């Protein structure tokens, strides 16, 4: 193996460049050339295959900075359609033209879906990234919990979870057995969300308001769960349908006590019928991922109608429910900017491991970040098919039920045990120093922003 490709696909995270950096650093040591393919899977379907040599003479290009968020290679939601054989064959020709002996895809569950068809044409390894932390398994055979049923009058299938299987997993659950314990990008997303929550709390407190903070994560509640560090009063996760009576009771009780309430909601929270609360503004990206928006707003409407102005006026506040309850989305700030130390370090390790796996001859495999109570964090490899159910489908990882306390609507004791190894030392001294040195750098007032895209453009080459 002399020359490999690397691409970054799906939604970005703050730690992608760190992963690519780790891969290129390892490749330099092993004497491998690394070609960065631009704009994720889209590059494979573009005849010109825009690309950049990331290590001419086995030296990493300076634009590849592990401290810098986003991806210098760009990303797209383009997905690999396994049934389109002709298109895949053309993509393979393009990779051959670039003389690539292997490919690393930095991506999440959607990217992993494309790995199988690609692996039949070129050795390919996935290095994980996602802020949602939904790429992984709570326990090794979790894929067997899925039951598939045909949807009458359609060629599609519905998937549901076998409750007995989940119940068994509750009895035997061990954090050490999680496959890909945590994914780079997650810690930084939680770091940003927690900062927002703390700031929102004090303003809700002084204005006697109820604040609903919506965080990302699609149908997985990991980000919402991590927000427990911001000490919200309630956390609503997509895995547990919203029982509005329970929420109203808890909100009233908390408001009466402290005259403010802070509720964290995952963007994918659902009603008792399983319908997303944010589904009113539902749309899909090219990969078919549902774009969720408005769960917090919908919950606000529900609370407004259930509490009414009366609840607040009885307590001496006459502003009405409309101004007393407000919603804020943490939004894309969760996905951008500099990664915290934990993400940077482990992302680079996962990138390096992915290169080693290609060299070792692994294919259709994933470099994963494991945690062991004695050993701490370490990277290893896992077969890509280990993430697929009986029918070959990859499901986003949900919170294990033991992580969430349905009574308190908050993180459970096991959930706390899960979070501690990730976050206890996740911010390094250099992260603090970085804020001191850069936030109010006077140079920022004089220099306009210089986008790394302009430098990458100068290095971009095409297949023809």
Interacting residue ranges for ligand F6P, rule: CB under 6 A? 11, 130-132, 216-218, 267, 285, 291-292, 335
Q: For strands 365-372 and 376-383, give the pairing.
A: antiparallel
DSSP code for 339? P
Strand-pair category, 3-8 with 33-37: parallel
C-beta of 294: minimal distance to ligand F6P in Å? 12
Buried b (16+ CB within 10 A) or exposed e, 185-198: bbbbbbbbbbebbe
Nearest of 103, 86, 107, 105 to residue 95 by alpha carbon: 103
In the complex, what is the shortest distance from the CB of residue 68 to ligand F6P, in angstroms, rounded to a whole number?
18
Residue 421: both structure tokens together: 């190894």
User: Which C-beta is closer to ligand F6P: that of 72 or that of 189?
Assistant: 189
> In 3D, which of 252, 265, 258, 241 has the Cα closest to residue 312?
252
Nearer Cβ to ligand F6P (130/398):
130
Q: Which is nearer to ligand F6P, 4 or 265 (CB)?
A: 265
Chain centre distance of CA 406: 23
List, edge to edge, every strand of the sheet that includes 234-236.
Answer: 234-236, 261-266, 210-215, 325-329
Kindly tell me which of 22 and 108 has the beta carbon lying closer to ligand F6P.
108
CB of 132 to ligand F6P, least distance (A): 5
- Minimum CB distance to ligand F6P smaller for 33 or for 267: 267
Give 311 or 387: the residue with its C-beta nearer to ligand F6P: 387
Which residue number places its CB atom closest to ligand F6P?
A: 216
Q: How far is the CB of 329 from ligand F6P (least distance, A)?
A: 11
Q: How far is the CB of 219 from ligand F6P (least distance, A)?
A: 9
| Least CB distance to ligand F6P at residue 292 (A) | 6
Q: How far apart are CA 348 and CA 368, in angstroms?
A: 12
Strand partners, 376: 372
Strands (E), 203-287: 210-215, 234-236, 261-266, 283-284
* Nearest distance, CB of residue 290 and ligand F6P, angstroms: 8
Q: Which of 27, 131 has the CB closer to ligand F6P?
A: 131
């Amino acid at each position: 193996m002399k020359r490999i490709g690397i691409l970054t696909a799906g939604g970005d995270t703050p730690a992608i460049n760190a992963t690519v950096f780790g891969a290129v650093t390892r490749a330099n040591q092993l004497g491998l050339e690394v070609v960065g393919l631009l704009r994720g899977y889209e590059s494979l379907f573009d005849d010109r295959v825009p690309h950049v040599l990331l290590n001419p003479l086995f030296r990493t290009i300076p634009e590849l900075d592990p401290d810098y968020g986003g991806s210098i290679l760009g990303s797209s939601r383009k997905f690999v359609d396994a049934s389109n054989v002709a298109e895949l064959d053309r993509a393979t020709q393009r990779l051959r033209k670039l003389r690539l002996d292997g490919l690393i895809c930095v991506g999440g569950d959607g990217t992993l879906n494309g790995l199988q068809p690609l692996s039949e044409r070129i050795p390919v390894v996935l290095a994980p990234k996602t802020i949602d932390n939904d790429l992984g398994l709570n326990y090794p055979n979790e894929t067997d919990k899925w039951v598939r049923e045909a949807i009458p009058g359609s060629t599609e299938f519905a998937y549901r979870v076998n409750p007995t299987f989940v119940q068994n997993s509750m009895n035997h659950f061990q954090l050490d057995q999680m496959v890909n314990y945590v994914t780079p990008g997650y810690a930084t997303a939680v770091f940003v969300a927690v900062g927002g929550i703390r700031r929102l709390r004090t303003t809700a407190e002084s204005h006697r308001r109820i604040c609903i903070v919506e965080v990302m994560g699609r149908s997985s509640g990991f980000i919402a769960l991590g927000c427990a560090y911001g000490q919200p009063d309630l956390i609503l996760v997509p895995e547990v349908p919203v029982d509005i009576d329970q929420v109203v009771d808890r909100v009233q009780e908390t408001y009466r006590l402290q005259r403010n309430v802070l509720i964290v909601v995952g963007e994918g929270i659902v009603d008792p019928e399983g319908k997303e609360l944010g589904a009113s503004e539902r749309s899909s990206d090219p990969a078919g991922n549902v774009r969720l928006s408005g769960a917090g707003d919908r919950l606000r409407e529900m609370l407004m109608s259930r509490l009414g102005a009366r609840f607040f006026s009885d307590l001496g506040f006459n502003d009405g429910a409309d101004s007393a309850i407000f919603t804020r989305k943490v939004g894309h700030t969760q996905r951008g900017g500099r990664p915290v130390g934990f993400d940077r370090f482990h992302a680079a390790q996962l990138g390096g491991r992915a290169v080693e796996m290609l060299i070792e001859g692994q294919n259709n495999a994933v470099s994963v970040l494991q945690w062991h109570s004695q050993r701490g964090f370490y990277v290893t490899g896992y077969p890509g098919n280990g993430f697929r159910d009986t029918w070959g489908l990859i499901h986003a990882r949900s919170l294990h039920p033991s992580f969430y306390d349905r009574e308190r609507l908050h993180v459970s004791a096991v959930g706390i045990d899960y979070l501690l190894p990730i976050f206890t030392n996740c911010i390094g001294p250099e992260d603090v120093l970085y804020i001191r040195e850069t936030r109010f750098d006077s140079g920022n007032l004089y220099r306009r922003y210089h986008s790394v895209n302009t430098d990458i453009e100068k290095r971009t080459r095409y297949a023809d």
